[in-house]
Amino acid sequence: EEQNSNVPDGPISWKKSPCRFCGVGCGLLIGLANGKAVAVKGDPKSPVNKGLCCVKGYHSVMSLYGEDRLTKPLVRKNGRMVETSMEEALDLVADKMKETIAKYGKDSVSLYGSGQWTIPDGYVASKLMKGGIGTNNLEANARLCMASAVTGFISSFGMDEPMGCYDDIDHANVFVLWGNNMAEMHPVLFSRILDNRLKRGNVKVIDLATRTTRTSVAADRSILFKPQGDLAIANAICYEIIQNGWVNRKFVESHCTFKQGKSNIGYGLEDKFKFKDEAKNISFEEFKHFLNDYKPENVEDLTGVSAKDIKYLASLFGDPNKKVMSLWCMGANQHTRGTWINNLIYNIHLLTGKISEPGNGPFSLTGQPSACGTVREVGTLTHKLPHGVVANEKDRKMAAEIWQVPVENIPAKPSYHTVEMFRALDRGDIRFMWIQVTNPLVTMPKLNRYKAATEKEDRFIVVSDVYPTPTTEIADVILPSAMWIEREGMYGNSERRTQHFEQMLEPPGEAMSDTWQLIEVGRRLGYEKLFPWSQETHIEEIWKEYTRFHKGKKHGMASYEVLKDQPGVQWPFVDGKETKWRFNGKYDPACKDGGFDFYGKPEGKAWIWVRPYEAPPESPDNDFPFWLNTGRVLEHWHTGSMTRRVPVLHRAVPHSYVELNPDDATKLNIRTGDKVKLVSRRGEIVLPASVNQRAQPTRGQVFVPFFDEALLINQLTLDAFCPISKQPDYKKCAVRVEKV
Interface ranges with ligand SF4 (CB under 6 A): 19, 21-22, 24-26, 49, 53-54, 56-57, 187-188
**Is the Cβ of residue 57 or residue 164 nearer to ligand SF4 in the bound state?**
57
Question: Rounded CA gap, 451 and 715, in Å?
Answer: 10
Tell me the torsion sign for CA atoms 722, 726, 732, 735: positive
Q: Where is the binding site for [4Fe-4S] cluster, in residues?
A: 19, 22, 26, 54
Residue 561's Cα: distance from chain center in Å? 28
C-alpha to C-alpha distances, 221 to 181, 215, 239, 351, nearest whole angstrom? 14, 10, 22, 24
- Residues facing 177 on adjacent strands: 207, 327
Question: H/E element holding 472?
Answer: helix 470-473
578, burial (CB in 10 Å: exposed 0-12, middle 13-18, buried 19+):
buried
C-alpha to C-alpha distances, 7 to 2, 29, 39, 69, nearest whole angstrom? 9, 16, 8, 21
User: Strand, coil or helix: what is 499?
Assistant: strand
Q: Is 34 left (phi over 0), alpha (psi -120 to 50) or beta?
A: left
Q: Where is the binding site, in residues?
A: 19, 22, 26, 54, 56, 116, 141, 145, 330, 334, 439, 464-465, 514, 630-639, 706, 714, 731
Question: Rounded CA gap, 444 and 418, in Å?
Answer: 9
**Is the Cβ of residue 53 or residue 410 nearer to ligand SF4 in the bound state?**
53
Task: Name the active-site residue from 97, 145, 185, 504.
Answer: 145
Note whether 23 and 491 are within 8 A (CB).
Answer: no
Task: Name the active-site residue from 185, 256, 330, 433.
Answer: 330
Task: Name the active-site residue from 31, 42, 53, 56.
Answer: 56
User: Strand, coil or helix: what is 75?
Assistant: strand
Q: How far is the CB of 358 from ligand SF4 (least distance, A)?
A: 22
Q: How far is the CB of 496 from ligand SF4 (least distance, A)?
A: 16
Q: Which of 662, 551, 503, 419 minimizes the C-alpha distance to 118?
A: 503
Q: Is 516 left (phi over 0), alpha (psi -120 to 50) or beta?
A: alpha
Task: Name the active-site residue from 368, 499, 566, 570.
Answer: 368
Can 158 be counted among the known catalytic residues? no
Q: How far is the CB of 35 from ligand SF4 (least distance, A)?
A: 24
Question: Rounded CA gap, 12 and 34, in Å?
Answer: 9
**Is the Cβ of residue 365 or residue 542 nearer to ligand SF4 in the bound state?**
365
Q: Which residue's Cβ has the minimum distance to ligand SF4? A: 57
**Is the Cβ of residue 118 or residue 343 nearer to ligand SF4 in the bound state?**
118
Task: Name the active-site residue from 164, 229, 361, 367.
Answer: 367
Question: Rounded CA gap, 593 and 614, in Å?
Answer: 41
Q: How far is the CB of 120 from ligand SF4 (least distance, A)?
A: 20
Q: How far is the CB of 22 from ligand SF4 (least distance, A)?
A: 3
Q: Which of 372, 396, 677, 657 minimizes the C-alpha distance to 494?
A: 372
Q: Where is the binding site for substrate, in residues?
A: 706
**Is the Cβ of residue 19 or residue 462 nearer to ligand SF4 in the bound state?**
19
Give the type of residue at 185.
Answer: M
Can 367 be counted among the known catalytic residues? yes
Q: How far is the CB of 435 from ligand SF4 (least distance, A)?
A: 23
**Is the Cβ of residue 130 or residue 636 nearer to ligand SF4 in the bound state?**
636
Q: How far is the CB of 208 from ligand SF4 (least distance, A)?
A: 22
Can 134 be counted among the known catalytic residues? no
Give the type of residue at 264.
Answer: N
Question: Rounded CA gap, 616 and 229, in Å?
Answer: 10
Task: Name the active-site residue from 53, 86, 146, 238.
Answer: 146
**Is the Cβ of residue 63 or residue 148 nearer to ligand SF4 in the bound state?**
63
Active centre residues (catalytic): 56, 145-146, 330, 367-368
